[in-house]
Structure 1
Amino acid sequence: MTNKRGPSLALVAVAILAAAITLRPGATSVGPVLAEITQGLGLSSASAGVLTALPGFMFAAAGLMAVPLSRKLGIGWSIGVGLALAAVCLLMRPYLGSGVVFILLSALALSGMAIGNVLVPAVIRTFVRDRPAFLAGVYSTGLAVGGAAPLLIAGLLLAAAGGWQPALAFWGWLSVGAAALWGVLLARSRGMLSKPGRRPRTVQRPVAEEPPLTSAELEVVAQVEHPSAHVSIWKSPTAVALAFFFGLQSTNAYVQFGWMSQIYRDAGLSLGYASALVGVIAVLGVPGGFAMSWLVSNSPRLSFWITGMGMCMVAGYNGLLFLPTTVPYVWAILLGLGSLAFPTALALITERSRDPRVTARVSGFIQPVGYLMAGFGPLLIGLIHGWTGSWTIPLVLMLASSVPMALFGRKVARGRHVDDELAAAA
């Protein structure tokens, strides 16, 4: 018998969690085994630098296409296509024996992930209009788990799989499972995530206090332009500050994912220990995802917490610079606390916008801008390290980037909404 009701909150949360978990391993699984990949495929140091920079660049470029794609396919189908593309490319890339093909398939896989990066926040707004903190926490926690897992188990997975190729391909199977689960959500959504213009059916209440958008409201979302639709998102100071906050945080994150294991290994630590330390940085985002989502929604002192993140970043990089192997776990914990800026930025996408269409525009704006910055970061760090043969200047640059990150975050913490700023500019 056909189910005429929409999805439960549990199904929505599980589907978002599964999708989020698969949006990072394609990027973070490369860093811990970069030396093995470089040797196995005969990559030059320049090619290795491109590989570490690829996540930021592809998340930026493909992120620009996510919102236009969603207008043609619908938000849900666009995410599903992205998950399927990532799964196929991640499964294939280790086995074709070519550095060029490996980089190309990595770029395509990251493109699929970029679609989810941009559109999942709009899915959250579709199902919960007024209090998105729970699903935002689920999403950021899933991203943290997916980012941390390849780092934490890199050494074990390499040994168990018998080589870097099957160890990398393992993460493609996660995307297969997530794509299948997302298909279940699409089947149960009954039009809520379908192609714009299609009249959705009545849906089940996902949250007791917050009914989903009605059919009439969903048609308005699909067919009627927002009053500020033609106003440039650059007219919103909050959106611009959020883009730079997100970008500086992402720059730090992808430098850490791409190079931190090598920094620790060059200091004398083993692959397993080095990747586990970088995993500590990422795994702190698991509880941090829910904590920061709650703080963004409820704390009147958000600027205080953001300032603290910047200070933790400064202390962590100082430790890596002067005493990298003395208490390496302390520096990893400090950098992990500073990296809570990432779930903070994600929660602010939904918290600083009200209308799902504005949420999609904000997400589609800050993520390409932010990830473009993040792409140049690892590339620049790799080039400087190659020129100098030292990690001193790269670490000093990363330390310095923590200050403007905190300043832009404090500006977003003021509580203004992008909807209001765009309406005022219209």
Structure 2
Amino acid sequence: MTPPPATSTPLGAQFPGKSGHPRVDGDSLRETARKGRGAGAGAGSALVLVAMLLVALNLRAAVTSLGALLDEVRGGLGLSATTAGFVTTLPTIAFAGLGALTPWLVRRFAPARLLLAGMLALAVGQVLRVVTDSPLVFIATSALALAGIAVANILLPMLVKQHFPHRTGLVTGAYTMALTVGTTVAAASAVPIAHAFGSWRAGLGVWAGLAAVAVLPWVPLALRARRAARRATPAVAAAQPSRIRPGRTRLGWAMAVYFGAQSLSGYAIMGWLAQLFRDAGYRPEAAGLLLAGLTALGVPIALLMPTLAGRLRTLHPLVLGLTAASSLAYLGLAFAPRGGALLWVALLAVGQGAFPLILTTIGLRARTADGTVALSAFAQSTGYVIAALGPLLVGVLYEATGGWTAPIGFLLAALVVQTGAGMVIARPRYIEDGR
């Protein structure tokens, strides 16, 4: 069930005060101020949607292109194994730490201005990291690029709530699909681009151009937001967003645990699935194609899942269905990885639909834009801390046991935790009601 639009008039503002003039309460002031600080009341929805989709295309390209070229980067910069491991963990650290600061930034700057700055940081960071020979500078500039992604991760669900309150599922599906496409294309083409130009720097640096393109639509949107803020009345300009603290609610923690558990499994699968198939007897090329197939199947699922979530009153069927698909895939990988590889990949792709589902649920479980950004920041920042453990623990278990039974058992245990949290967030409720 889609929640009431964030632009609805608060009940207290509908009735006149004793003086006969309309009474304006704090909630209505905050909502009016939010409109002024947003991407601009006159901004066309089409421009906002295009801008969001361009941002989404960039949300993982800087990460997956580096993963594909990690060996070349290690050789080119002389990175130790420990430093390379830190580089691969840096995204989850940045998404967790910097994502948690986004609500504080939103209280001071318009979302459009933040996204403009975020895409500029992403473009500049990606350029600077490919022109240096210093490992320290490479890490610092990668962190700059990831800072832009971290802010965008949190703000996109908020923008869906602001500009498309009646199309939460459809628009979330569109930008999640764009994210998946960007992830897939960057992972698949980074190595060929590097080989074509004879350097890993080209394979990483080309994605700065995509980030630069994403900057363009946010320039007029940021200017409109600035003009709207200047036109705001003193009372509206002084209004501050309400402080919503998801960490003090059961719903907030359930959202964070679900986000973290599904991300943990997703990162582990992306990092280790090809190795599992190679151990099962597949050639490296075939194992890579199976992993690419998993990502490709995720594109239509990324569009379908939010649409279904937006139309259902309760999410219990989706939560349980995704759990069933993942469970069957894990059991198949444990006992018959070679015999039914295509089926297990297809089931894994369905199970990974938990990612677009939780992104949609962030918007469905908040009444307002303030609630959405607070819930998005808490769920994602806390969730990415959990997710960072996935590839690490799977690697430790794989090395300790020499097989895949223990790692898959760990992923099944994480799935149980994910399902428990999913049952909590499946019932319609709103984060603002827990204050």
Normalised by the length of structure 2, the TM-score is 0.81
Q: Tell me how far apart the structure 2 counterparts of residues 272 and 164 of structure 1 sit (CA, whole Å).
A: 20
Work out the number of aligned pairs and report it. 396
What is aligned with 2:412?
Answer: 399
**Structure 1 equivalent of residue 259 of structure 2:** 246
Identity of aligned residues (%): 34
TM-aligned CA deviation for residue 155 of structure 1: 5.1
In 2, are the aligned partners of 1:32 and 1:262 still within 8 Å (CA)? Answer: no
CA apart distance, 1:257: 3.1
Contact 1:241 1:408 in 2 (8 A): yes
Aligned partner of 1:210 in structure 2 is none
For residues 246 and 115 of structure 1, what CA distance do their matches in structure 2 show? 17
Does residue 91 of the first structure (1) align with residue 127 of the second (2)? yes
Q: Is the 8 A contact 2:110 2:222 kept in 1?
A: no
CA deviations on 1:271-325 (whole Å, 9 max, x unpaired) are 5544443333333332223322222121245212211212222222333334444
Match of 2:304 in 1: 291
SS of structure 2 residue aligned to 1:29: helix
- Structure 1 residues 281-360: aligned runs within 5 Å: 281-300=294-313, 302-360=315-373
Q: Which runs of 5+ in 2 are unaligned?
A: 1-39
8 Å Cα contact 1:233/1:365 also seen in 2: yes
Question: Which structure 2 residues correspond to residues 171-182 of structure 1 after superposition, within 5 A?
Answer: 171-182=207-218
Does residue 23 of structure 1 match 2:39?
Answer: no
The structure having more radius of gyration, on CA atoms, is 2
Superposition deviation, residue 81 in structure 1 = 1.1
User: 1:368 aligns to what SS in structure 2?
Assistant: helix
User: Does the Cα contact within 8 Å between 1:52 and 1:258 map onto a contact in 2?
Assistant: no
Deviation string 1:158-182 (CA, Å, 9 cap, x unpaired) is 5434343311222222111112232
**Residues 314 and 428 of structure 2 are in contact (CA less than 8 Å); yes or no, is this contact kept in structure 1?**
no
Aligned-residue CA RMSD (Å): 2.9
Q: Which residue of the other structure, out of 53, 76, 80, is the alignment partner of 2:89?
A: 53
Letter in 1 for 2:212: V
Residue among 268, 271, 292 paired with 1:279: 292
1:198 paired with 2:229, answer yes
CA 1:286–1:160 in structure 2 vs 1: closer, same or farther (change >3 Å)?
A: same
Alpha-carbon separation, structure 2, partners of 1:103 and 1:266: 32
Letter in 2 for 1:198: A
Change (3 A) 1:106 1:264: farther
Pick closer, same or farther for the CA change 1:22–1:382 going to 2, 3 Å. Answer: same
Matched residue of 2:108: which SS? Answer: helix
CA contact (8 A) 2:121 2:144 kept: yes
CA distance in 2, matches of 1:141, 1:149: 12
Cα distance in 2, alignment partners of residues 260 and 54 from structure 1 = 21
Equivalent-residue separation in structure 2 for 1:263 and 1:221 (angstroms): 56
Residues 26-67 of structure 1, C-alpha deviations (whole Å, 9 max, x = no match): 222233333443444443443333233222121001101112
Corresponding residue number in structure 2 for 1:78: 114
Asked if the contact 2:190–2:204 (Cα under 8 Å) also holds between the matched residues in 1, the reply is no
Q: Distance in 1 between matches of 2:79 and 2:403?
A: 21
2:393 aligned residue: 380
Q: In the alignment, is residue 364 of structure 1 matched against residue 404 of structure 2?
A: no
Match of 1:141 in 2: 177
For the residue of structure 1 that corresponds to 2:213, the secondary structure is: helix
Deviation at 1:390, TM superposition (A): 4.7
Is residue 49–residue 383 contact of structure 1 (8 Å, CA) maintained in 2? no
Q: Is the 8 A contact 2:107 2:240 kept in 1?
A: no
CA contact (8 A) 1:56 1:373 kept: no
Q: Deviations over 1:179-210 (max 9, x none)?
A: 223224334xx22xx49x9245xxxxxxxxxx
Q: Deviations over 1:319-341 (max 9, x none)?
A: 33344444433322221111100
Unaligned runs of 5+ in 1: 201-214
